[in-house]
Amino acid sequence: MAPVAHVIVEIALNREFDYEIPDSLRDAVQLGSLVEVPFGTRHTRGYVIGLAGESAHDKLKEITRVVGDRPLIAPEILELARWISRYYMAPIEHAVRTVLPSPVRKPGARFKERLHVVPEDKAQQALHVDKLRASHARRAKILDLILAEGEIFLSELTTRAKTTAGTVRKLEEEGFVRIASRAELRNPLADQNVLPTEPLELMPQQAGALKAIRASMDTLEPAVILLYGVTGSGKTEIYLQAIQTALDRGQGAIVLVPEIALTPQTVRRFSARFGDRIAVLHSSLSTGERHDEWHRVRDGDARIVIGARSALFAPVQDLGLIIVDEEHETSYKQEESPRYNARDVAVMRGHQQRVAVVLGTATPSLESMHNAQRGKYGLATLPHRVDHRRMPAVRIVDMRSEAAHGGGRIPIFAKDLVMAMHDRLDRREQIMLFLNRRGFSTSITCPICGHVIDCSECSVSMTYHKRHDLLHCHICGARRGVPAVCPNPECRDPAFKYAGVGTQRVEEVVRKLCPRAAVARMDADTTTRKGSHEEILNEFRRGKIDILVGTQMIAKGLHFPNVTLVGVVNADVSLHMPDFRAGERTFQLLTQVAGRAGRGDVMGEVFVQTFTPSNPSIQAARQQNYDLFYDQEIEFRRELKYPPFSRLVCITLTGPSEPLVELTAKELVRQLQSRLSEEIICSDPAPAPLAKARGNYRYQVMLRGPTAAAVTSPLRRAVEAFTWPRDVKHTVDVDALSLM
Ligand code: ADP
Ligand code: ZN
């Protein structure tokens, strides 16, 4: 029997196909190889995900060709993809697609070739002949330029010498120059001037943490270290020195940061220490840059990868360390199939490859801290800022009493906050004003009756966009005008129109309150252009902006010494999400935001405006007391058997007919029940908090069990045996984070 390859092809989901490996390709076909195979009447590309001596099928077709000189998917990455597919109940194709960036996967993906012009000896000689200078002044100018540069891109030459490629070709024919093509790396860090940095002498608490990480790199006991350090405690310096340790041992490293924190500022800190041994992988790079960076990593030219979620799958050789910064961040979870959490997959990659993993954060997720408490992870704590500056004072402002004083009208800013703002401006200090997520915060709420305008298709509030004076639904894109009075028939208040509190509205009010201050806004609307995010932050850093208004974008990992006042306009927004993690999110957000204040010489101050000042998460945030928060939150989770005391799997069914979706969900649960062991808790089907999106109704079923597999193995069987109506789609989200 000829050997057989199990191949997944790019055009058919959820199935493996067997192909015969012809003798001529015996050596070339390996696990992870990209191959071309006949499929139906045409050829397609696929990946070899298994090898076998024989097949259960007969009359196999042969693999036509192997693409590339070695497997595109390294064996350890393929193993990880398999685990993702199994654990997250996702098709293996989705997992494979996730571990290979599309610029690498695409047919025809290759290095960019650029034409260079190099002078020949004859060029030098020619210029010494005065005759040429006189009779061929233009040519002489071109040659001068080439000689001055030594070597120049053809395109640059034609621009600078105001000539054409044809003229240069002529010079080549006459033997003055040579035009050569060579691969040019598109390096995203190329145009940055970074001053190199040396390792800092560590503070005792940092040294202790680094020692623990090095021990973990040696013994893998424990294999995962939770690095819990307040903002400004010097976690990044520890990462840098731990990476240096890996490099010294000939090993590479991966650093994951949330997409939103992957600013040039962050990248610069790493490239300042490690130079071109750094590769950057994230979605805002050009296709070419991503292709080239990936290959630099695979070829061992770059030893350290820094990037968002998917950088975890970089083919780093001799991996020695994985760091996940801001491990609590929900953006590590991919909200489409495969719905993996990069933090958790990082721990799995570490486990499979016997590599130490560091999870760093100022506000550990309940899951990670619980693992540390029960000894599964090591714990290194940095309780103080490096400079021993005091944490800012956090003041809770009760907006109910503000409303009472204002005759029922709720002001955007409490009086105390406004006073504090003037105070800081007088002292030439900077201010950040912070609003939660835009989809929720820019809805128009009637200040009298609390009425909110919802999208009729999506059951979320519509958001107000000042520029077009329109309401938009961010789920389905619907738009409508703003009513002149409150639509609630019992209210009809004309103040309605002006009541919305979004970043734009806050900006407007701030400009009125502080007419002499320079105000800028940073949210998804003002940062759509590439680089605009960084531009605003640079202006702010240089002191060109006094007050920065923004969404959580401005809360992440930024360091502005002159910011002494931070205002949270409405802390309740995240608290009132229909999600058992709402308290955790609120605590994390407030702590992050508070961490922005007072990183310089002046003591910082934080105002948190809320309608629920006695809420435990808000109180714990006021005291900046993670332990207090953790202790009360973990009890709540234990009582209700929420994660980390269970694994949560969320099934969402969607379709255009609500009765059919509901009926299908009920029937699925009925069939599922009989397969479930007693330790699994299965909810009744219920409309999702986001009950309708893009015209489709959404129902959810929540399952909780002691392990993910205890839930997913019976679920997988039930889903496969189920007769799905054509109009009802379903998704399975293992370890779901967003329960919308
Ligand atoms: P974190 O990542 O925990 O928020 P950073 O690593 O950004 O903290 O450190 C905060 C500031 O302290 C940075 O400006 C950093 O350069 C500085 N820093 C860190 N470690 C030291 C040290 N050992 N000595 C002096 N300065 C340090
Ligand atoms: Zn909508």
Tell the residue nearest (CA) to atom 10 of ligand 1: 232
- What residues are paired with 647 via a beta bridge? 705
Ligand 1 and 200: CB distance under 6 A: yes
Is the pLDDT confidence value at 652 over 70? yes
CA neighbours within 13 Å on the CB side: how many for 672? 25
Angle between helix 235-248 and 204-219 (nearest 10): 40
Give residue 455 CA to ligand 1 midpoint distance, Å: 46
Q: How far is the CA of 372 from the centre of ligand 1 (A)?
A: 24
- Give the C-alpha separation, 548 to 566, whole Å: 10
234 lines ligand 1 (CB under 6 A): yes
Q: Are 230 and 385 in contact (CB under 8 A)?
A: yes
Alpha-carbon span 726 to 737, nearest angstrom: 28
Q: Is any atom of ligand 1 closer than 6 Å to the C-beta of 232?
A: yes
CA 567 – CA 581 distance, rounded (Å): 23
**Reduced 3-state DSSP string for 249-291:** CCCEEEEECCHHHCCHHHHHHHHHHHHHHEEEECCCCCHHHHH
What counts of helices (H) and strands (E) characterise the chain? 25, 29
Long-range pairs for 539-543: beta carbons < 8 A, 24 or more residues apart: 540/430, 543/430
Structure confidence at residue 558 (pLDDT): 65
Q: Residues near 58 by Cβ (< 8 Å), separated by ≥ 6?
A: none
Which ligand is in closest contact with the Cα of 596?
Answer: 1
- Residue (of 222, 178, 571, 604) closest to 385 by Cα position: 604
Q: Using an 8 Å Cβ cutoff, are 157 and 117 in contact?
A: yes
User: Do 290 and 281 touch, CB atoms closer than 8 A?
Assistant: yes
Least confident of 60-74, 172-186, 679-693: 172-186
Which residue in 450, 465, 560, 559 sits closest to 503, CA to CA? Answer: 465
Is 233's C-beta closer than 6 angstroms to any atom of ligand 1?
Answer: yes
For 191, counting Cβ atoms within 10 Å of its Cβ (0-12 exposed, 13-18 middle, 19+ buried), the class is exposed
**Residues 6 or more apart in contact with residue 663 via CB below 8 angstroms:** none
Segment holding 434, helix H or strand E: strand 430-434
**How many angstroms does the Cα of residue 342 sit away from the middle of ligand 2?**
30
* Atom number in ligand 1 closest to CA 230: 3
CA dist 320 and 245 (Å) reads 9
250's tokens: 């000939």
Q: Whole-angstrom Cα distance, residue 436 to residue 563? A: 19
Ligand nearest to the CA of 381: 1
Q: List the residue whose alpha carbon is closest to atom 15 of ligand 1.
A: 234
Give the number of other CB atoms < 10 A from CB of residue 486.
Answer: 24
Q: What is the pLDDT of residue 31?
A: 92
pTM of the model: 0.82
Q: String of b and e for 59-69 (b: at least 16 CB within 10 Å)? A: ebeebeebeee
Q: What is the mean pLDDT of residues 230-241?
A: 93
pLDDT band at 657, cuts 50/70/90?
very high
**Residue 192's pLDDT is what?**
59
- What sign does the dihedral 120-125-129-130 (CA atoms) show? positive
Residues counted in the chain:
740
Lowest mean pLDDT among 438-442, 599-603, 607-611, 636-640: 438-442
Identify residues whose C-beta is under 5 A from ligand 2, the ion: 455, 457-458, 473, 475-476, 478
| Pair of tokens at residue 502 | 């979004």
Kindly give the number of the ligand 1 atom that is closest to the alpha carbon of 229: 3
Say how far apart CA 595 and CA 583 lie, in whole Å: 18
Centre of ligand 1 to C-alpha 386, Å, is 6
DSSP state of 311: G
- Phi, psi for 298 (deg, rounded to 5): -65, -35
Ligand number nearest CA of 456 is: 2
Sign of torsion, CA 186 190 196 199? negative
Structure tokens belonging to residue 99: 């571990």
Going by C-alpha positions, the residue among 51, 69, 80, 67 that lies closest to residue 107 is: 67
Rounded Cα distance between 161 and 144, Å, is 10
Q: How confident is the model at residue 438 (pLDDT cuts 50, 70, 90)?
A: very low
The answer to whether the CB of 572 falls within 8 A of the CB of 589 is no
Distance CA 610, CA 622 (A): 12
Distance CA 486, CA 298 (A): 60
Residue type, 248: D
Mutation choice for ligand 1 from 233, 239, 386, CB with most ligand atoms inside 8 A: 386
Residue 232 token pair? 């400004």
Whole-angstrom Cα Rg for the chain? 30
What CA–CA distance (Å, rounded) separates 35 from 47? 6
465 alpha carbon – ligand 2 mean position (Å): 15
Q: Which atom of ligand 1 is nearest to the CA of 201?
A: 23
What is the number of the ligand 1 atom nearest to the C-alpha of 236? 6
- How far are the Cα atoms of 43, 50, 64, 94, 353 from residue 36, in angstroms, in the given order? 7, 15, 6, 19, 30
Ligand 1 pocket mutation, candidates 237, 273, 324, 599, criterion most atoms within 8 A of CB: 237
498 band by pLDDT with thresholds 50, 70 and 90: very low
Angle, CA 506 vertex, CA 502 and CA 509 arms, to 5°? 140
Q: Which pLDDT does position 81 carry in this prediction?
A: 96
At residue 248, does pLDDT exceed 90? yes
Q: Whose CA is nearest to atom 20 of ligand 1?
A: 234
Residue 225 CA to ligand 1 centre (angstroms): 19
User: Which ligand does the CA of 362 lie closest to?
Assistant: 1
List, in sequence order, the alpha helices (H) in 442-565: 503-513, 532-541
Residue in this structure with the two tokens 């003798």, named with its chain if needed:
23
> For residue 501, what pLDDT is reported?
60
pLDDT over 70 percentage in the chain: 86
Instruction: Please state, rounded to an integer, the average pLDDT across all residues of the chain.
Output: 86
pLDDT in tens, 47-101: 999 999 888 888 899 999 998 888 899 999 999 999 999 999 999 999 999 999 8
List Cα–Cα distances, 577 to 268, 571, 740, in angstroms.
36, 12, 9
- Tell me the ligand closest to 453's alpha carbon: 2
Strands 647-655 and 470-472: unpaired
Closest-CA residue, ligand 1 atom 23, reads 202
Cis peptide before 644 (omega within 30 of 0): yes
pLDDT of 288-328, one tens digit each? 888 888 989 999 999 999 999 999 999 999 999 999 999 99
> What single DSSP character describes residue 495?
G
678 φ, ψ to 5°?
-65, -25
Residue 225: is its pLDDT beyond 50?
Answer: yes
